[in-house]
Each structure stands twice: as C-alpha cells, then as structure tokens.
Amino acid sequence: MANMTHQITDKKANETEKKEALMFLIHLFGDLHQPLHVTGVARGGNDIRVCFDAKAPCDDDNKKWNLHSVWDTAIPHKINGIKHSLKHNPERLASAKWADRLHQENRPRPIDTECAITRQPLKCIKKWATESNQLNCDFVMERGIEWLEENDLGGEYYEVAAPIVDEQIFKAAIRLAGWINALAARAAADEFRGVHLQGDL
C-alpha cells in the first residue's frame, strides 16, 4: 500500500502506471480489512480446512473450504444471497447493493477517516493492520483451530461473523475514500505550488 501510494504521487510515473497503482491500492485496502490477511497463523487460515453450510456432518469429505476462503468469499456471498455455485457472475450487482445498504445503515454515524497521512502511509497502514489482526484473537480464531475444523461455520459462527464483515467493509470504504481525497488534495497543492513557483521565476 505504501509503494502504491508513492507511485500514484510520483511525478515520474505515467498515467498507466498511476492507474494500475490506484487499482492495486483499492484491492489492498480491502485485503487489509480482512483479518486473515494480516496473520501468519496457518498461512492466514489457508491451511485450516472447514465446513460452511455443509449438507452433511462436518467430516473430511465435506470440508470444501479453508478458513481464509470462508472470510474472503463464503461469508460475503451468504450476506448478499449469492449461492456458492454461481461463482463470480452476480458479484458486481450484489456489491453495489451491499454498498448501498451499508451506506444507508451507517448514515447516522459520524464519518471519520481517522488517518490519512499519505506522506507517511505506514503509520495508517500499521494502525489498521493491528486493528484487523486483533479480530483474529477476539473472534476469527478465538475458539481454536480444532473447533473451527470440527464445526460447520455457516451457522452460529456466521451469525457473529457477518456483522464483523459488514463493519470491516464499511471501514475500508470510508478509509479508502479519505485516502483518495487526501491524495487528490496533495496533488492539487503540489500543482498550485509548482504554478506559484513558476510565476515567481
């Protein structure tokens, strides 16, 4: 994220490079707010095989998911009514509806990006990564790997996880918007400073 931020503001970078950096930055903001992207335990949950809405007991034959993919895909899909078998086809429409719902539900909340220090991006990144990682201790892996492997995560576990995912997506969106606004303000200030200096020469 720090590298992409620097590339966007690099005067030597061309428009294509800046566009690619912005696309990566958007993706990485999402990743940073998914708790399992900021832990090394079991390779971020990739090595923990689990069941999610299995139609039979949670044995090895029904462990179609790993914990990481449950948080990346299964929980967001279930929140938005996307059947797992449909893969990625309806995701764009569902994402738009999800964004609208989160916007409506959070309208009464004060909007605070909390951190948008684009000239020293690691300060914000570390703050947000620490916050996301704490969720692994507080809930994601709180009951231990053995429990996660033995229980279907599409029931009680999902009911607690879904609001966490909603909150993390909302935070990621607000923080990303604040970051982009800060980058735009920085670019405008740099441009104004350049014009002002040229006028003085």
The domains found in the chain, sorted by start residue, are 2-200 (1.10.575.10)
Coil, helix or strand at residue 65: strand
Q: Are 113 and 178 in contact (CB under 8 A)?
A: yes
- What span, in angstroms and rounded, lies between the C-alpha atoms of 49 and 16? 40
Q: How far is CA 187 from CA 29, 173, 177, in A?
A: 20, 21, 15
pTM for this structure?
0.87
Per-residue pLDDT of the chain (201 residues; tens, 9 = 90+): 999 999 998 889 999 999 999 999 999 999 999 999 999 999 999 999 999 999 888 888 888 999 999 999 999 999 999 886 555 567 888 999 999 999 999 988 876 667 877 888 899 999 999 999 999 999 999 999 999 999 999 999 999 999 999 999 999 999 999 999 999 998 888 765 554 444 444
Q: What is the pLDDT of residue 200?
A: 46
